Each structure stands twice: as structure tokens, then as C-alpha cells.
Amino acid sequence: MAPRTLFDKIWDSHVVETLPDSTAILYIDRHLVHEVTSPQAFEGLRLSGRRLRHPDATIAVVDHNVPTSDRTLPIEEADSRNQIETLERNVKEFGVPYFPLLSARQGIVHVVGPEQGISLPGMTIVCGDSHTSTHGAMGALAFGIGTSEVEHVMATQTILQKPAKNMKVVVEGQVGPGVTAKDIMLAIIGHIGTAGGTGHVIEFAGSAIRELDMAGRMTLCNMSIEAGARAGLVAPDETTFEYVRGRPFAPKGEAFDEAVAYWKTLASDEGAHYDRVVELRAEDITPVLTWGTSPETVIPVTGNVPDPAAEADPARRRQMQRMLDYMGLEAGQKIAGTPVDVVFIGSCTNSRIEDLRAAASIAAGRKVAPGVRAMIVPGSGIVKAQAEEEGLDKVFLEAGFEWREAGCSMCLGMNPDRLTPGQRCASTSNRNFEGRQGPGGRTHLLSPAMAAAAAVTGTLTDVRELI
């Protein structure tokens, strides 16, 4: 057999049947369900009298809509409450395992899956959410789907898809101080653009990737979608196996050893073909952030906001100028030193215990700058409990951060955590689109350490000055 990539191997092992036009009926191992993109799918099943084929391969959790304040209080927003109650009715009717709001295991679906050992290497994983790509860090083929496809998976445990192209992003070398997985990924997106990965699955490789812990790999794969890719992947290795070992839903004992033996066969073969290869040197990557309203508008924190006048294409020039106007920035200005109103540390990109530790290391012994609202939103109840066990909550609270309950929070502006028009936010989330964090809100994407640095200085700041 010709040498195959990690993607090829997972794909091949899940093809149920190939239709005449090369569309595959692809088997799905794990279906993650949340309250926002599922109600119409459950309704579709009900209307057509179809059953949900594998509740034992499905897990539901509430995350997008939930308030991150006191959980014992009723949910104030009526339509959010309705969506959550609708999910609760649906999981009951169709027998789907569910972590409810008050469960310690509730959290952001892309934090919960790996944390619980539900997402495992070699699997195919889907969810009605684009950031499903996160689970690719496990060495699983994981991608976001629309609600019609959610219904298709519920009814058939498969999806119709054509094979993606293979892309490899190689980062060799050792990153400098203050440079995290978030900086590596933003640098990649800045380099290839938000459509750079369209039609491809990106496999991340190279020594700088191998060095990353699982949380860092999840950050990378999470934002593969911001690079336009269908999914991101990191080959499972000892770091992966150690992470999986002992998780609640992972195989145990001999079954675990058998699984590891299989997982070890998944890495791309020597000489496997990639349709596109991009290489970056780790040493060239510095702490970065975004200046505009597209995740590809990445500059070093030491850099200046670009000038639209330098752009030749008139449509693009107009769009850059609109970004500057929306963001309240001037062409050519230094980005460092720009005052922020809000700091958000959380989201499926950066809300794991490792992220909170990185933020706490900057916050420790410092105070949130006057007039800045700084929020820490752990990715799950489990992350929150772990952080409290380590005393991170005290570090944050003493510094003047808010210590909140798990959920998507200010990443997407659909729960009570939102920016108000004109507010500038240093955010560890994944999208800086106009209005993403609330109408008129201005988002700068950056790492947890950089976000903490912005909180304590009150401005966008090079974190290296604080370490």
C-alpha cells in the first residue's frame, strides 16, 4: 500500500461505502451535541419518525447560552432558557447522555470531550460547531457540521463527505520565552490567511509541535478553522496516551493497551503525500495579536498597525480601512500601549488548566489596572475545581479578576457576557469578527499570558516585559 497520512488512515478506516461520485458515507464515532445547533435536528427526527441511531456514541452539554454567573439562580434570558430546556427535553426523549448545567462535568463541549476521555485518537468526531476541530489534537478527525448534518448523524451515525486534501504545517525549532501555542497558531493563520486551508485537513508537525502539551495542541487544532481548514490534526504520541490514560470514558486496563497499540499505527507514513506543505521556524515567532476584524490580521505585539495605502487592490484597501475605523485604530500606530476596557480569558481555544496557569503566573502579585474589567472563565467545572485546588482562583481574585462559571461566555456574544459598543477587549478566544463579542465590540486575539499582561497594565502589552 502507498504511504498514507494520518488523515488518510483515519478516513480509510471509517468509509462505510463510496458513492459513484467519490462521496463517502463516513462512519462517525462521536457526536457532541449542544443547545444551539441541535433543536431543529431533533425536531427533524421527530417529524420524520426517525430514531437516534447511537445514543451511546453521543454526548450533550449546554455551553453557548449559559450564564457564567451564579448557577443557582434561574436563567434570566427567556429564549436562552427555552433553548436549554428544549435540549433537556430532547436528550430525555432520545436517551442521549447529558451533562446538565449543575453537573461538575458541564463545560464547553470542546473542553469536556477530551477531558472526559470521550474524544479519543483515531476517531471521527463531529459537532454542530466549527471549533470541533479542537479534538484533532487527540489525533482524531474532528470537524464542525451544520444542523442538517447533525440530524443526518443522529439518524444514520454517518456523514456524507468527499475526502479532504492533505496539508502539513511544520514548525521546527524552539519557541522563545512568552511564545505559546496561541502565538504559533496566530502566526500560522497570519501566514496562510483565513482561506489558506480551505478544502484541506492540516496536520501539524515538527519539533515545536511535538513539544506542546495537549492543551497547546488543542489550541492549535481549535483555530484550524480560522485558517479555513476542515480540521486540524496532531499525530498521537506518548503525550497523547498519557493524557488519555485514566480519563472517565477512556478504555481501561487491557483494552487501553490494545487501543494504544492501534493508536501507534496512526502516525503518517514516511513519504506520505501532502498536497501542500508550509514551514515556519519557531525562533521567528514572537508574541502576536490581531489588529483587525479577521483572524488573519496578525502582527507582532512589537509591531505597527498596517497602512491601507500600501494595498494595491481597491476592494481590499476599502476593507482594511473599514477594519481600522471599526477597531478605532490609526494606520501605522504602534499596537502596544493601546488601552483596553475588557480582558477575557476563556473559550474553547484557551480555557484549560494550563491556560489558567499561564495567566495566573502573570497575574500573581499584580493588580488589574483601574477601569479594566478582567474575567476568567474556566472551560469546565472540572477545570474550575482543579484551578481552585491549585489556588489559582485566589491569585486571580486578589489581583482583581472575576472568577466565573464554565461556558462559552464572551467568545460569541449570545449569553449575558458581552462587550458594549466601542469597548476594546484583549481576548483569548478565536474570532475577532465585527460584533462577535457583542455589537460594536473591538476584539484583539492573543494568548492567555498576553491577556493577563493587558489586564495588569491596562494596555496591549508585550508579555515578555513582565516575565
Partner 1 sequence: MDKFTVLTAVAAPLPEENIDTDKIIPARFLKTTKRSGLGVHAFDSMRYRPDGTENPDFVLNQEPYRKAEILITYDNLGCGSSREHAPWALLDFGIRCVIAPSFADIFNNNCFKNGILPIALPREVCTQLMDDARQGANSRLTVDLARQVIIRPDGQEVPFDVDPLRKQLLLEGLDDIGQTLQHEKAITTFEQRRAQAQPWIPHIVLD
Residues 274 to 313 in contact with partner 1, rule: CB under 8 A: 294
Minimum CB distance to partner 1 smaller for 62 or for 360: 62
The number of beta carbons lying within 10 Å of the beta carbon of residue 21 is: 6
Minimum CB distance to partner 1 smaller for 390 or for 434: 434
Q: Which of 467, 466, 465, 413 is nearest to 440 (CA)?
A: 413
Helix, strand, coil percent content, the chain, rounded in steps of 5: 35, 20, 45
Query: Shortest distance, CB of residue 399 to partner 1, whole angstroms?
Result: 30
Query: Shortest distance, CB of residue 211 to partner 1, whole angstroms?
Result: 29
The residue within the footprint of partner 1, chosen from 210, 434, 459, 464 (CB under 8 A), is 434
Considering only residues 33 through 52, tell me which ones interact with partner 1, judged by CB under 8 A. 36-37, 39-40, 43, 48, 50
Q: Tell me how many degrees the CA angle 179-183-189 measures, rounded to the nearest 5.
A: 155
Considering only residues 406 through 425, tell me which ones interact with partner 1, judged by CB under 8 A. 412-414, 421
Query: Shortest distance, CB of residue 267 to partner 1, whole angstroms?
Result: 18
Q: How far is CA 238 from CA 121, 258, 424, in A?
A: 12, 15, 41
Query: Shortest distance, CB of residue 262 to partner 1, whole angstroms?
Result: 7
| DSSP letter string, 226-285 | GGT-SEEE----HHHHHHHTT-TTS--HHHHHHHHHHHTT-SPPTT---SEEEEEEGGG-
**Please, are residues 133 and 166 in contact by the beta-carbon 8 Å criterion?**
no
Residues 6+ apart with CB under 8 A from 448: 180, 182, 345, 350, 355, 356, 358, 359, 428
By CB under 8 A, is residue 321 in contact with partner 1? no
Considering only residues 10 through 29, tell me which ones interact with partner 1, judged by CB under 8 A. 16-17, 19-21, 23, 25, 27, 29
> x/- contact string, 439-458, with partner 1 (CB under 8 A)?
xx------------------
Binding-site residues for [4Fe-4S] cluster:
348, 408, 411
- Binding range to partner 1, per CB under 8 A, among 2-10, 195-203, 215-223, 303-311: 195-203
Considering only residues 92 through 121, tell me which ones interact with partner 1, judged by CB under 8 A. 97-98, 117-118, 120
**Please, are residues 290 and 432 in contact by the beta-carbon 8 Å criterion?**
yes
Minimum CB distance to partner 1 smaller for 20 or for 365: 20
Rounded to whole angstroms, how far apart are CA atoms 116 and 8?
A: 26
Considering only residues 55 through 84, tell me which ones interact with partner 1, judged by CB under 8 A. 56-59, 64-65, 77, 79-80, 82-83
**Please, are residues 242 and 214 in contact by the beta-carbon 8 Å criterion?**
no
> x/- contact string, 130-159, with partner 1 (CB under 8 A)?
x-x----------xxxxxxx-xx--xxxx-
